[in-house]
Amino acid sequence: MKLLDGKKCAESLVGDIARKVAGYVASGLRKPHMTIILVGEHAPSESYVKSKIKSCENAGFDSALLRFPETITEAELLAKIEEINGDQSTDGLIVQLPLPKHINQQNIINAISPDKDIDGFHPTNFGRMTLGQKAFRPATAYGICKLLQFYEIPTRGKHCVVIGRSNIVGKPISIMLSNDFDIGNATVTLTHIETPRELLLDETRRADIVIVAVGIPGFVTEDMVREGVVLIDVGINRLEDGRIVGDVDFANVKNKCSWITPVPGGVGRMTVAALMINTLMAYQNNFHLS
């Protein structure tokens, strides 16, 4: 068993970005700039935002964190997004999810300019990605692809099973891995809560690559996968004792895997690295750089 080390891979990618940015700044351009909107108080969101800001520092980007109270209305938030959409000094905009229940999340995602949508959630980017066109790719799914690429794990012709069909992880990774992309050309089965248990087991037991994003600690057990599987654990679950674990029963499954992601230190780190790649792309688009 070998670890797919998201920390090591992310540091390498961010290091490459920092070198490019240093070159741009030396030529007289401003730094790339990421703006993050955070609504209310939500402990996991605080920690995700902190790691994004830290990564911006490491990449040589400027960043701004705009905090709003839980009571902000949807109209007020939409007005703020409109303002940032028109602000030439911001390249990428993230609205940290989840939002309070009185705000329609999709309305907010739809309001972000597709040119600044570094999360890759806007229908325009999602559509372009699906069609195989240039787009900001959804960050977690893109991060998984970058991790597979870093460790030279082939996907072409492989059988990949994705568990979970969320718009932010399961759906985009299933599309990306089945597309004719560098990291793609796999045969993908997308499973979800309505997949009968027997069918799920049939699929996972003969998969070359299993990607799980369900949010249930220990969901993937030893009996569900075959010897030599590549296992990507997207889950981030906080246990009552404060520990953070993924969706895989790591201790018992790991020895069956050829490769496996740890949690923490796996996909989470790659999500942030992919956001940096997308922000650099937004910046390069703004300044017509290649």
- Number of Cβ within 10 Å of residue 148's Cβ equals 25
Interface with ligand NAD, residue 268, by CB under 6 A: yes
Distances, alpha carbon 10 to alpha carbons 22, 47, 224, 274, in Å? 18, 17, 29, 8
Instruction: Report in angstroms how near the CB of residue 87 gets to ligand NAD at its nearest.
Output: 27
Task: Identify which of residues 163 and 183 has a Cβ nearer to ligand NAD in the complex.
Answer: 163
Q: Least separation, in Å, of the C-beta of 139 and ligand NAD? A: 8
Tell me whether residue 101 is one of the annotated catalytic residues. Answer: no
Q: How far apart are CA 257 and CA 274, in angstroms?
A: 25
Q: Which stretch binds ligand NAD (CB under 6 A): 18-26, 128-136, 162-170, 182-190?
A: 162-170
Q: Is 119 a catalytic residue?
A: yes
Please pick, among 5, 52, 208, 249, the residue that the annotation labels catalytic. 52
Q: Which of 5, 80, 91, 96 is catalytic?
A: 96
Task: State which residue, 180 or 241, has the beta carbon closest to ligand NAD.
Answer: 241
Task: Indicate which single residue of 215, 245, 258, 265 sits in contact with ligand NAD (rule: CB under 6 A).
Answer: 215
Q: Applying CB under 6 A, does 165 fall inside the site for ligand NAD? A: yes
- Residue 96 known to be catalytic: yes
- 163 contributes a contact to ligand NAD by CB under 6 A: yes
SS3 for the chain, per residue? CEECCHHHHHHHHHHHHHHHHHHHHHCCCCCCEEEEEEECCCHHHHHHHHHHHHHHHHHCCEEEEEEECCCCCHHHHHHHHHHHHCCCCCCEEEECCCCCCCCCHHHHHHHCCCCCCCCCCCHHHHHHHHCCCCCCCCHHHHHHHHHHHHCCCCCCCCEEEEECCCCCCHHHHHHHHHCCCCCCCCEEEEECCCCCHHHHHHHHHCCCEEEECCCCCCCECHHHCCCCEEEEECCCEECCCCCEECCECHHHHHHHEEEECCCCCCHHHHHHHHHHHHHHHHHHHHCCCC
- Nearer to ligand NAD among residue 21 and residue 39 (C-beta): 39
The encoded tokens of residue 252 equal 């018992």
Applying CB under 6 A, the span of 127-135, 151-159, 211-219, 274-282 interacting with ligand NAD comes to 211-219
C-beta of 21 vs 95, nearer to ligand NAD:
95
* Least CB distance to ligand NAD at residue 217 (A): 9
**Choice among 91, 119, 208, 249 that is catalytic:** 119
Strands 159-163 and 187-191, by their bridges, are parallel
Asked if 149 touches ligand NAD (CB under 6 A), the answer is no
Residues numbered 172 to 201 that lie near ligand NAD (CB under 6 A) are 191-193, 195, 200
> Which residue, 109 or 168, is less far from ligand NAD as judged by CB?
168
**Distance of closest approach, residue 77 Cβ to ligand NAD, in angstroms:** 21
Q: Which amino acid is at 94?
A: I
| Shorter beta-carbon distance to ligand NAD: residue 12 or 89 | 12
Q: Which residues bind ligand NAD (CB under 6 A)?
A: 140, 163-166, 168-170, 191-193, 195, 200, 213-215, 234-237, 267-268, 271
Residues recognised as catalytic: 52, 96, 119
